[in-house]
Chains A and B, each alone.
Chain A
Amino acid sequence: MSSFNEMDEILKDFVVETEELLEGLDEDLVALEKSPTDADLLNKVFRAFHTIKGSSSFLGFEKMTELTHKLEDLLNSLRRFELELTPSIMDAILMSVDKLKAMLEAIKQNQSIDDIDIEQEIHKLLKAQNKPSQIDTIQKDSEEKLIEEPSQPQESKELQEQVQESVIESENDIIKLQIEEIQEEPVPAKKTNLTDEELNAEIQKLLEQRIKEDKERRKAKQQNNKTQETKDTQTSKQSERIDTQTLTQSKVEEVESQKIMSNKEPQDKSKQDLDKQTIRVDVKKLDDLMDLAGELVLAKNRLVRLANIVSEQNENDDISDSLSNISSQITLVTTDLQMAIMKTRMVEIGKVFNKFPRVVRDICRDLNKEVNLVIEGAETELDKSIVEEINEPFVHLIRNAIDHGIESPSERIQKGKNKIGTLKLSASQEGNHIVISVEDDGRGMDKEKIKQKAIENGIITEQEASLMSENDIFNLVFLPGFSTANQVSSISGRGVGMDVVKTNIEKLNGIITITSQPNIGTKIIIKIPLTLAIIQSLLVKVAGSLFAIPLANVIETVRIALSDIEHVQNKDVLRLRGSIVPLVYLGDILRISQGKKTLNKDEIYVVIVSSAEKQLGLVVDALVNQEEVVIKPLGNYLGKVKSIAGATIMGDGSVALILDVVSIVKQASKLSVNIASHTADQKEFLQNALVISNKANLEEFMFIKENFAEYNILFSDNIASLYSHPSSIVFLDLSMPNAIDLINDIRELPATKKSYIVGLSEDLQSDKSRFEDTSLNALIGLNQKSNIENIKKLLNKKINPDKKGGV
């Protein structure tokens, strides 16, 4: 039983490690193509293949072993400079690496890899090896080199290889294999044929080199810090992190001197973060930790609310003061804790970016274009789950940029541009968001051509096209099946890519913007939230229910009047700084507002939201608050509910639903209910009255019917009746336990904001003081029926002066 689990563990580790190695290989191989004589790089690649060979043979993946063995042979020839690295050899290597990836994928899926055909790859590899071109001159060259710089790195590499080999081949111990963390972990020293003195001298030399390197690196990082500090406050935290990193580095240095000496690895310039002390943690554990932090945030919200209530009730009270203190302290600590846990889940975006040199190389070779890929901000961190999602969209964006954007070298020369195009990938952090952009210096997007294609495909009419803003035109490319390419190539043209980009970015609650200038280039900017688990949200109320809109999707909130709303084909739109935004009532999308008239025509609140490239105005009853909420899934039973992304628990323990803006934006166009139908009609409003009481026997309220006979009176036990029966007078039974909340709820509803609320009291004396601070307009004592005449007079004045009062 346990041995089976151990085997499972080993397999898991093997998959993770090999995956990392293969990812690194892509990057290194592309770099190698640019500097084919870089001995360090060659060795690194060789080692990677060697490690995969070792562990795959241990686990009995013979095909993998066979292929890596051939790769190793080829690399060995390359690194001995017996062979020149040509693009076709590189193609063979890359092809084999792809095959290795495919095998690993199969292993991951628990499939057998015996059926995977590697004949072709092996054939190519052998061919590459057997027909070395100009072998003589190269060999001479390399021999000279070897003489020039006495084989120091070479020798130590060999030593290290021997060490590794002996670990892999002689040790069957399971744990050893797990520890054998490729280059990152020191390899236990084994007996070698070097004498102790030689070894020590070797180590001393390496150590000096290393210390020098560390110093340089630290200097570079400090400089980095300075520039970052000036950027914004957010990055200051990052630089702190970097400081501690360098600190640990120097600490490690101290300790290193003796203990680790014998295990020291040869320097490698491409391994920047070698000294970072890391452990591998199951993501599940981090998820659990995140969940717990979420619970804590909720508990904190409750505490804060309680502290506020207490301090409102007892001002200048010692206990309430210290409660406030504690609550603000806990707020600080939870926020920090949450950030810290979030950080542990963060990985550098470089993990994705590093794959792109290979992608760019392949596309360029296919299209005969020359592109220089510039990567900025690869150290920007974001949540692991997001990093995994952004790979695919960016591959599409890069393809598009090279295929459609960047011109062929001859065209570029003609235009007076640099023959080599530039593609810039950059990432940076802005508050709670990561901004990633893909920028090329190509021909830019052709507005006219896009318009024309869209008209041809019947997506828009000519008339619509003439009205469209530049942004709207660019956004047409996100439509599925849209492509301006006249020819479909293996790279692009089928019109799928941008749709994939949009869908993936939507999933992450991201926003896409395109800017493009003819012959200068195109820039696509993507803004995504740092994490998906805890989000800032805007709380709104619709028909009495509380909803949270992710702040990432909120562009702005505006207050308008019904008269500001314009109509296009009988649909409501709002003209907002030149662009036209469709408007819908949130209640209609959620289908909870049929026949409800909760809006006030003079005061309509609109939340402008955006999903990927589209904007929409959501009309709500009230804007409540901005709050940090923890997304909780609705569970398997409810699956994916339309318009709802999840739920969250509010400070008072109640549940609020988090809206799925993507799905809402999608549904909005199908909606045909006008906002005007949710505003209270003036005449109706003035005629309606509502009595709210939860008493079973309504006998004692019958006097209202007699005294206010001119009104259309409805009796109800809850406030919901007010939504469909907007009333200028509300009689409220003050003996209801939540009377104060009800008053607030009535006032919160735009339609009844100015209604006349009459309290029905059993005990006038005590209710007078209890409701002193509320917005109750009048009180009627149920026993003596006092005040009725006054109220009637007042109401007459209020409602009838010149038919203007009320709403």
Chain B
Amino acid sequence: MESFNSDYTQAVGFNLENETYGIDILNVSEIIKPINITFIPNTLDFVLGVINLRGKIIPIVDLNKKFFDKFKDITQDSRIIVVSVEDNTVGFLVDRIKKIYHINNQNIENSPETVNENVQKYIKGVGKLDEALIILLDVNTILKEGGYKS
């Protein structure tokens, strides 16, 4: 796998708070429209609840709430990105899906210090593209943190 086109990172681009973020496409299993979410008590407040995805129970995390402590209404454009790392599957609620970006690995830099501290720890790097900057998220860290109250 690694040897195949390892010069490029492919990322699913999406919007949060008017900025473009990206998740490595290898971690994304699918993108769905928001469906009925069942609230789960005793979880952290950015966990909106769980959904039934073809018979599987998947927790939904509101990335706006997690990163910026802000609840946003679900709109026509809202999407859930279903992310999977090993046995851990979570859906991220985002404002809007943009497109798949191909980023030359040489154009990926460490995240700038100016980024919100709360978000900083989840950033793998920043991809420089002609049209914009794309903040690449480290999905593993987010998933490992979990959504339960300790």
Contact = CB atoms under 8 A, between A and B. Distances in A.
B90 A637 contact: yes
Contacts of B87: 635-636
Given A635-B89, A642-B42, A655-B51, 11 more contacts: A298-B55, A545-B38, A634-B59, A636-B143, A637-B59, A637-B90, A637-B146, A638-B47, A641-B40, A641-B43, A654-B38
Contact of B38 (A590, A635, A655): A655
A643 interface: yes
Contacts of B50: 634, 638, 647, 655
Interface string B36-58: 10111111000101111001111
Secondary structure type dominating chain B contacts:
strand
Contacts of B125: none
Nearest to A589: B41
A657 B88 contact: no
B99 interface: no
Contact of A591 (B42, B51, B57): B42
A277 B25 CA distance: 49
Given A636-B88, A638-B147, A640-B148, A657 B40 contact: yes
A697 to B, nearest CB: 17
B149 interface: yes
Nearest to A656: B38
17 contacts: A592-B39, A632-B57, A634-B59, A635-B57, A635-B59, A636-B87, A637-B61, A637-B88, A638-B40, A638-B43, A638-B146, A639-B146, A639-B147, A639-B148, A641-B42, A647-B57, A653-B52
Nearest to A632: B57
Interface string A130-157: 0000000000000000000000000000
Contacts, number: 82
Interface of B: 36, 38-43, 47, 49-52, 55-59, 61, 87-90, 143, 146-149
Interface in A622-648: 632-644, 646-647
Contact-size category for A: 20 to 34
The 7 A-B residue pairs with the shortest CB-CB distance in the complex, in nearest-first order: A655-B38, A590-B41, A642-B42, A639-B148, A636-B88, A647-B57, A632-B57
A632 B149 CA distance: 20
A307 interface: no
Secondary structure type dominating chain A contacts:
loop
* Residue among A633, A637, A643, A644 with most chain B CB within 10 A: A637
A504 to B, nearest CB: 23
A78 interface: no
Nearest to B37: A655
Interface of A: 295, 298, 545, 590-592, 632-644, 646-647, 649, 653-657
Contact of B41 (A591, A633, A639): A591
Contacts of A298: 55
A655 B148 CA distance: 19
Nearest to B49: A655
A647 B53 CA distance: 13
Contacts of A647: 38, 50, 57
B90 A644 contact: no
Nearest to A590: B41
Contact of A635 (B36, B49, B52, B58): B58
Given A634-B57, A637-B90, A649-B52, A644 B146 contact: no
Nearest to B41: A590
Nearest to B148: A639
Contacts of A646: 57
A638 B36 CA distance: 18
Contacts of B149: 642
Nearest to B149: A642
Given A635-B57, A635-B58, A641-B148, A654 B43 contact: no
B42 A590 contact: yes
Contacts of A635: 57-59, 87-90
Nearest to A643: B42
Contacts of B43: 638, 641
B140 to A, nearest CB: 12
Contacts of A590: 41-42
A592 B49 CA distance: 13
Nearest to A544: B39
A549 to B, nearest CB: 15
* Residue among B36, B43, B89, B149 with most chain A CB within 10 A: B43
Contacts of B147: 637-639
Nearest to A649: B52
A654 B36 contact: yes
B101 to A, nearest CB: 26
A364 B59 CA distance: 53
A298 B56 CA distance: 11
A590 B148 CA distance: 14
B61 to A, nearest CB: 8
Nearest to A642: B42
B39 A545 contact: yes
A644 B40 contact: yes
A644 B40 CA distance: 8
* Residue among B36, B39, B51 with most chain A CB within 10 A: B39
A638 B148 contact: yes
A358 to B, nearest CB: 38
A637 B50 CA distance: 11
B41 to A, nearest CB: 4
Nearest to B88: A636
B102 to A, nearest CB: 29
Nearest to B44: A638
A292 to B, nearest CB: 10
A632 B56 contact: yes
* Residue among B36, B50, B149 with most chain A CB within 10 A: B50
Nearest to A647: B57
Contacts of A649: 52, 55, 57
B67 to A, nearest CB: 17
A655 B52 contact: yes
Given A637-B143, A637-B147, A654-B36, A644 B59 contact: no
Contacts of A592: 39, 41
B96 to A, nearest CB: 21
B40 A634 contact: yes
B41 A643 contact: yes
A298 B50 CA distance: 17
Nearest to B142: A637
Contacts of A654: 36, 38, 52
A295 B42 contact: no
Nearest to B42: A642
Nearest to B83: A637
A646 B40 CA distance: 10
Nearest to A636: B88
A630 to B, nearest CB: 9
A556 B143 CA distance: 41
Contacts of A656: 38
A295 B57 CA distance: 12
Contacts of A632: 56-57
Nearest to A663: B42
A643 B148 CA distance: 12
B50 to A, nearest CB: 6
A299 to B, nearest CB: 9
Given A591-B42, A592-B39, A644-B41, A295 B143 contact: no
A642 B49 CA distance: 14
A639 B55 CA distance: 19
